Amino acid sequence: MNRPATILLTALAPVSWGTTYAVTTEFLPADRPLFTGMMRALPAGLVLLALARVLPRGVWWGKAAVLGALNIGAFFPLLFLSAYRLPGGMAAVVGSVGPLIVVGLSAVLLGQRPTARSVLTGLVAAFGVSLVVLKAAGALDVVGVVAALASAVSMSAGTVLTKRWGRPDGVGPLALTAWQLTAGGLLIAPLALLVEGAPPALDGRAAGGCLYLALANTAIAYWLWFRGIGRLTATQVTFLGPLSPLTAAVVGWAALGQSLTPVQLAGMAVAFGATLAGQLGARTPTVGRSFGSAERKRTPEALRDLSRAV
């Protein structure tokens, strides 16, 4: 498959994640962020595991646990925490520094020398996202800022390590995705039970929302994401991230009656332009093994921040 097609398929992952806010607010029970995270990750992981029929072997038990924790198990709770403790949009803005973190980690772990172009593109992308989502409200919370940064570092580190470790011989991206989602879901499950108590009863509407999040929004989206990591550079993949907040803004306008100001439209153009620029000029690796062979519904902005970053 040629590079443009691979980029387009990988881009479907952050586009799907941009629908999380609308689905969560319109279909799922309020007050259950960790339960929602668990229902996204664990069923999706188990379904993919049943399809792949491959379990980790040897050191890959540990590697799968680490990747699952970074990309799912730690990332989700940290993101929820930041979304509730920061003013509207700020969590998404802090999280938008992910491409810059990936550029730095790629230099250390992958030997990919950072360029002025990639750094500048990352700054422009973060600026564009800030125009789309940032709201002037309240003082910054230290814990919220730290959680937002930690969530960005967690996902960025997971992306780079996924690239560095590649996959075992004979194992495809479907199995790798299954391992990570299952490990991440198993990490979130006891935390959800401890913090939020027993799972809530789900009506048909909520069950449908959970089904969408588990299958399309998580199983398929993360499979496309990890597949893209194996075929593109880590920097190329992470520069697709701004598509998530842009999609959330468009869905909010089209489905939830939210307005888009001229400043937001300008920010969308800037962020989208940075996303395109992040795909240009990068050398695509050879396809195959890679290098190194509490969601309380307190405010709409809180859930919107979540969807913009996941």
| DSSP string across 184-215 | HHHHHHHHHHHHH-SPPP--HHHHHHHHHHHI
Q: In this predicted model, what pLDDT tens digit does every residue of 243-276 receive, in sequence order?
A: 988 888 888 888 878 788 898 899 999 999 999 9
Q: Spell out the SS3 assignment of 283-302.
A: CCCCCCCCCCCCCCCCCHHH
| Global confidence as pTM | 0.85
Judged by phi (left if over 0) then psi (alpha if -120 to 50, else beta), residue 166 lies in: left
pLDDT at 194: 94
Q: Quote the CA–CA distance of 156 and 243 in Å, as a whole number.
A: 16
Per-residue pLDDT reduced to its tens digit, 202-221? 999 999 999 999 999 999 99
Hunting for tokens 């990309």 — which residue is that? 71
CA dist 180 and 185 (Å) reads 8
Please tell me the distance from the alpha carbon of residue 226 to that of residue 244, in angstroms, as a whole number.
16
pLDDT, position 133: 80
- Rounded Cα–Cα distance for residues 151 and 186 (Å): 18
Flag whether pLDDT at 187 surpasses 50. Answer: yes
Q: Please report the pLDDT score of residue 31 as a whole number.
A: 76
How buried is 53 (Cβ within 10 angstroms: 0-12 exposed, 13-18 middle, 19+ buried)? exposed
Look at residue 287 and tell me whether its pLDDT is greater than 70.
Answer: no
Q: Which residue has the higher pLDDT, 191 or 305?
A: 191
CA–CA separation, 175 vs 53, rounded Å?
A: 8
Checking if the pLDDT of 290 tops 70, the result is: no
Say what the pLDDT of residue 78 is: 87
Mean local confidence (pLDDT), 135-158: 81
| 206 token code pair | 């909520």
* 100 vs 97: CA distance, rounded Å: 5
Q: Is 263 exposed, middle or buried (0-12, 13-18, 19+ CB in 10 A)?
A: exposed
Say how many C-beta atoms besides its own lie within 10 A of residue 110's C-beta. 20
First to last CA, the chain: 26
Whole-number average pLDDT of the chain: 85
- Report residue 76 as tokens: 């989700």
Q: Report pLDDT digits (tens) over 17-38.
A: 888 878 887 898 877 888 988 9
The residue that leads in pLDDT, 182 or 36, is 182
Q: Among the listed ranges 26-35, 128-137, 233-242, which one has the minimum average pLDDT value?
A: 128-137
Amino acid identity at 231: R
Mean pLDDT, rounded, for 98-127 = 90
Q: Which pLDDT does position 295 carry in this prediction?
A: 37
Query: What's residue 283's pLDDT?
Result: 55
Average the pLDDT over each of 130-139, 246-255, 301-310 and give the range with the smallest value: 301-310
21 close to 248: Cβ distance less than 8 angstroms: yes
Q: Which helix (H) or strand (E) holds 300?
A: helix 300-309
Give the number of other CB atoms < 10 A from CB of residue 28: 27
Lookup: tokens for 310: 């996941």
Q: What is the pLDDT of residue 1?
A: 65
| Dihedral sign of CA atoms 258, 264, 268, 269 in order | positive
pLDDT attached to residue 124: 93
Residue with tokens 């980029």: 7
Torsion angle, alpha carbons of 267, 268, 270, 275, to 10 = 140
Owner of token pair 């030997």? 111
